[in-house]
């Protein structure tokens, strides 16, 4: 109320001359969001004896916050003798907006201690801070405070609460709250849809989007961003394209965020050309947009295109950051661009002053390892600081050992990993695969028993394929579509006639000899491809998404399938894309 009255007064002042501002106020305005000038302006305020003027101090504090110096903001705050609700709301808003959620909460507590009642404005900001922190307990208590203060039906507070519960992984609470909103704003819908998406529930995100459309609620660009992200996760290019068409034909502005999600969607659904079209048409491109496009080339194995774009970025684009270099290095790793990768890693440190993290080390080991430079990879690992020797780096080293059948080192690394992360089933699978490659079946058995004793299971692999805008999911030995089995049996026979030889060593260790070919034959990606071939007409591309990495046998089999059926098959596995056509794969067996 107090605020409203003061707001009205402000209207009367609107015709005042700009120079009616006091010198102290002008000094604050001139300083802008920069710490040093603000300090000088503060000194002036004190000299002029205006240090009790709350309006002036509020402006000063807001700018200090915007300048990114929360320490200075807090110091200034402590000099204010009797802060009012205006000041607190500005501070809470500023800290949560500029990335200081802890301070937002701290100021909120100070506000309560000062016996000043929070408003709906206060709550939206402090709930956002809780969401950023995933601070479930705190958020819950603030939620009850919201109800006590009578703001439970404020639409802004409701949307913030839905987002908060979703970001704290409490999706059912978020949903219950959402369902109870009688008049749902577009932001409430967006909060719930993005909540599903961010927690990996892509289908639920899309389902809610459909429901929203059925009710005639008009989506906005933020809705599209979440839906496109869900499409990207699922590889649902059909829906992705429809969203894109809708955006274009309804004249939505493709801003940086929306453009970047389109790029990401097209790349992860297998269409880099369309992604590049979107990139070229964007009027504003920031570091995130460039990085998305570079990473898109990388996961398709188009290393040269990735490096060319990166080169262009260095000349006329925004400054690359750590994430850009992850994209660049992994593009090099997947395309065998060793020299370029080494160079980029050096530039990252020397030219850009960036500090490589775990991901960069993993990329480098991966790159050297794939290329067969095992000694160099191992030397690189040994040269890292003890603190940088993370399991992820060793896992990359282990992958290289397996790929190049480096038995002794592989066993050594795997045993180290088992000691450090005994709960990670992936390490056991790797170790047993290495033993299997070396023909040490007694050891394979040993590792398998150890895994069982510790109650560990390997991750379940599954694949999806899109037919007529619907996605179908398959897991190994899946019996949901019996009609594909005879087809697949026949198909594999034709592949064998064309020269395909099953790679038995790719089978997981727990199987008996005679079961092996069947286990291979019914891998989820083969089932999904068989289904796709059966249900789509000649000439249509088969697109499959797998949650894990493809095995070597499937990779070889699919090359033959592409010949025997004369079809283009695109498989996205956990790491990258494989475009199969005419008996070869775009990864050139370099994966």
Choices 109-117, 181-189, 427-435, 482-490 (CB under 7 A): range interacting with DNA: 181-189
Q: Does 155 engage in binding with DNA (CB under 7 A)?
A: yes
Tell me how far apart the alpha carbons of residues 381 and 378 are, in angstroms, rounded to a whole number: 5
Among 93, 143, 244, 567, binds DNA (CB under 7 A): 93
Among 260, 330, 506, 524, binds DNA (CB under 7 A): 260
3-state secondary structure of 470: strand
In whole angstroms, how far apart are CA 189 and each of 144, 167, 260, 271? Answer: 22, 15, 21, 29
Among 174, 225, 398, 520, binds DNA (CB under 7 A): 225
3-state secondary structure of 424: coil
| CB count in 10 Å sphere of residue 582 | 10
Q: Which of residues 186-215 bind DNA (CB under 7 A)?
A: 186-188, 190-191, 194, 198
Choices 159-167, 171-179, 444-452, 575-583 (CB under 7 A): range interacting with DNA: 159-167
Total residues contacting DNA by CB under 7 A comes to 75
Q: Are 573 and 550 in contact (CB under 8 A)?
A: yes
In whole angstroms, how far apart are CA 251 and each of 218, 254, 555? Answer: 13, 9, 43
3-state secondary structure of 567: coil
Choices 185-193, 352-360, 454-462, 505-513 (CB under 7 A): range interacting with DNA: 185-193
Distance in Å, CB of 91 to DNA, minimum: 10
* Nearest to DNA of 157, 527 (CB atom): 157
| CB count in 10 Å sphere of residue 369 | 26
Least Cα distance to 169 among 138, 197, 129 occurs for 197
Q: Does 140 engage in binding with DNA (CB under 7 A)?
A: no
Q: Which of residues 526-555 bind DNA (CB under 7 A)?
A: none
Choices 224-232, 269-277, 419-427, 433-441 (CB under 7 A): range interacting with DNA: 224-232
* Nearest to DNA of 65, 411 (CB atom): 65
| CB count in 10 Å sphere of residue 197 | 25
Q: Which of residues 362-391 bind DNA (CB under 7 A)?
A: none
* Nearest to DNA of 224, 428 (CB atom): 224
Q: Does 323 engage in binding with DNA (CB under 7 A)?
A: yes
Residue 510 gets which letter from DSSP?
T
Q: In what order do the strands lie in the sheet with 542-546?
A: 470-475, 462-467, 542-546, 569-572, 577-581, 584-585
Among 256, 456, 508, 541, binds DNA (CB under 7 A): 256
Q: Does 220 engage in binding with DNA (CB under 7 A)?
A: yes
In whole angstroms, how far apart are CA 410 and each of 359, 405, 427, 456? Answer: 21, 8, 11, 21
Q: Under 8 Å CB-to-CB from 279, ≥6 apart: which residues?
A: 259, 263, 285, 289, 293
Q: Under 8 Å CB-to-CB from 403, ≥6 apart: which residues?
A: 369, 370
Among 257, 446, 450, 503, binds DNA (CB under 7 A): 257
* Nearest to DNA of 26, 586 (CB atom): 26
Assign 3-class secondary structure to 110-137: HHHHCCCCCCHHHHHHHHHHHHHHCCHH
Tell me how far apart the alpha carbons of residues 193 and 207 are, in angstroms, rounded to a whole number: 9
Q: Does 463 engage in binding with DNA (CB under 7 A)?
A: no
Q: Which of residues 425-454 bind DNA (CB under 7 A)?
A: none
Distance in Å, CB of 338 to DNA, minimum: 23
Residue whose token pair is 């899946």: 478
* Nearest to DNA of 500, 577 (CB atom): 577
* Nearest to DNA of 39, 120 (CB atom): 120
* Nearest to DNA of 26, 581 (CB atom): 26
Q: Does 131 engage in binding with DNA (CB under 7 A)?
A: yes
Helix (H) or strand (E) holding 490: helix 483-497
Tell me how far apart the alpha carbons of residues 303 and 419 are, in angstroms, rounded to a whole number: 36
* Nearest to DNA of 50, 404 (CB atom): 50
Q: Which of residues 5-34 bind DNA (CB under 7 A)?
A: 6-7, 9-10, 13, 21-22, 24-25
Q: Which of residues 32-91 bind DNA (CB under 7 A)?
A: 50, 53-56, 58-59, 62, 85-87, 89-90
**The pairing of beta strand 542-546 with beta strand 569-572:** parallel
Dihedral angle computed from the Cα positions of residues 125, 126, 129 and 131, in that order, rounded to the nearest 10 degrees? -100
Helix (H) or strand (E) holding 393: helix 391-403
Distance in Å, CB of 368 to DNA, minimum: 23
Which x/- pattern, by CB under 7 A, does the window 96-125 give for DNA?
xx---------------------xxx--xx
Q: Does 134 engage in binding with DNA (CB under 7 A)?
A: no
Distance in Å, CB of 28 to DNA, minimum: 8
Among 42, 74, 128, 402, binds DNA (CB under 7 A): 128
Residue whose token pair is 């100021």: 107
Q: Are 240 and 269 in contact (CB under 8 A)?
A: yes
At 510, give phi and psi (nearest 5°). -75, 0
3-state secondary structure of 572: strand
Q: 85-97 and 70-78 helices cross at what angle (nearest 10)?
A: 170
Choices 218-226, 245-253, 383-391, 493-501 (CB under 7 A): range interacting with DNA: 218-226
* Nearest to DNA of 24, 333 (CB atom): 24
Distance in Å, CB of 399 to DNA, minimum: 22
* Nearest to DNA of 324, 562 (CB atom): 324
Among 111, 234, 272, 292, binds DNA (CB under 7 A): 292
Tell me how far apart the alpha carbons of residues 437 and 442 are, in angstroms, rounded to a whole number: 12
Q: Are 526 and 557 in contact (CB under 8 A)?
A: yes
* Nearest to DNA of 131, 570 (CB atom): 131
* Nearest to DNA of 76, 163 (CB atom): 163
Distance in Å, CB of 360 to DNA, minimum: 14
* Nearest to DNA of 289, 519 (CB atom): 289
Among 76, 138, 160, 491, binds DNA (CB under 7 A): 160
Among 289, 344, 367, 520, binds DNA (CB under 7 A): 289
């Amino acid at each position: 109320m107090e605020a409203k009255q003061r707001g009205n007064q402000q209207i009367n002042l609107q015709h005042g001359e700009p120079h009616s501002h006091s010198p102290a106020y002008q000094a604050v305005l001139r300083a802008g969001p920069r710490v040093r000038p603000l300090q000088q302006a503060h000194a002036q305020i004190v000299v002029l004896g205006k240090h009790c003027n709350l309006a002036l101090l509020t402006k000063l504090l807001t700018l200090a916050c915007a300048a990114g110096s929360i320490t200075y903001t807090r110091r200034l705050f402590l000099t204010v003798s009797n802060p009012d609700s205006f000041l607190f709301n500005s501070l809470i808003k500023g800290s949560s907006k500029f990335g200081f959620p802890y301070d937002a909460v701290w100021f909120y507590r100070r506000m309560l201690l000062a016996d000043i009642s929070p408003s709906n404005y206060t709550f939206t900001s402090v709930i956002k801070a809780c969401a950023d922190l995933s601070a479930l307990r705190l958020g819950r208590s603030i939620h009850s405070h919201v109800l006590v203060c009578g703001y439970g039906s404020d639409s802004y507070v409701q949307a913030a609460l839905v987002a908060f519960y979703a970001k704290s992984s409490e999706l059912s609470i978020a949903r219950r709250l959402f369902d109870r909103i009688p008049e749902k704003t577009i932001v409430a819908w967006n909060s719930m849809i993005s909540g599903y998406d961010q927690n990996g529930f892509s289908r639920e995100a899309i389902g809610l989007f459909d429901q929203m459309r059925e009710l005639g609620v008009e989506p906005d660009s933020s809705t599209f961003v979440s839906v496109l992200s869900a499409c990207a996760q699922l590889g649902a290019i059909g829906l992705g394209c429809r969203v894109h068409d809708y955006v274009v034909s309804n004249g939505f502005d493709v801003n940086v965020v929306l453009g970047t999600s389109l790029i990401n969607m097209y790349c992860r659904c297998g269409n880099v050309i369309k992604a590049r079209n979107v990139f070229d048409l964007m009027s504003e491109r920031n570091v995130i947009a460039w990085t998305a496009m570079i990473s898109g080339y990388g996961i398709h194995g188009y290393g040269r295109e990735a490096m060319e774009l990166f080169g262009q970025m260095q000349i006329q684009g925004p400054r690359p950051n750590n994430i850009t270099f992850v994209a660049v290095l992994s593009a090099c790793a997947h395309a065998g661009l060793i020299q370029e990768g080494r160079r980029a890693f050096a530039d990252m440190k020397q030219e850009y002053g960036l500090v490589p993290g775990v991901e960069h080390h993993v990329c480098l080991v991966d790159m050297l390892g794939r290329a067969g430079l095992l000694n160099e990879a191992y030397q690189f690992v040994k040269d890292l600081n003890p603190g940088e020797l993370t399991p992820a780096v060793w896992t990359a080293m282990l992958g290289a050992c397996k790929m190049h059948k480096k038995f002794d080192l592989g066993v050594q690394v795997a045993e180290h990993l088992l000691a450090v992360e005994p709960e990670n089933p992936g390490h056991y699978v790797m170790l047993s695969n290495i033993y299997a490659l070396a023909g040490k079946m007694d050891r394979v058995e040993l590792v398998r028993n150890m895994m069982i004793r510790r109650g560990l299971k390997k991750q379940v692999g599954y694949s999806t394929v899109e037919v007529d805008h619907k996605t179908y999911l398959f897991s190994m030995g899946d019996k949901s579509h019996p009609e594909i089995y005879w087809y697949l049996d026949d198909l594999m026979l034709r592949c064998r006639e064309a020269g395909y030889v099953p790679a038995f060593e790719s089978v997981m260790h727990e199987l008996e000899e005679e079961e092996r070919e069947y286990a291979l034959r019914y891998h989820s990606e083969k089932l999904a491809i068989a289904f796709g071939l059966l249900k789509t007409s000649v000439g249509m591309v088969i697109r499959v998404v797998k949650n894990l990495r493809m095995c070597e046998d499937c990779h070889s089999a699919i090359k033959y399938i592409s010949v025997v059926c004369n079809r283009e098959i695109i498989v996205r596995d956990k790491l990258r894309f494989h475009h199969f056509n005419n008996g070869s794969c775009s990864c050139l067996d370099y994966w």
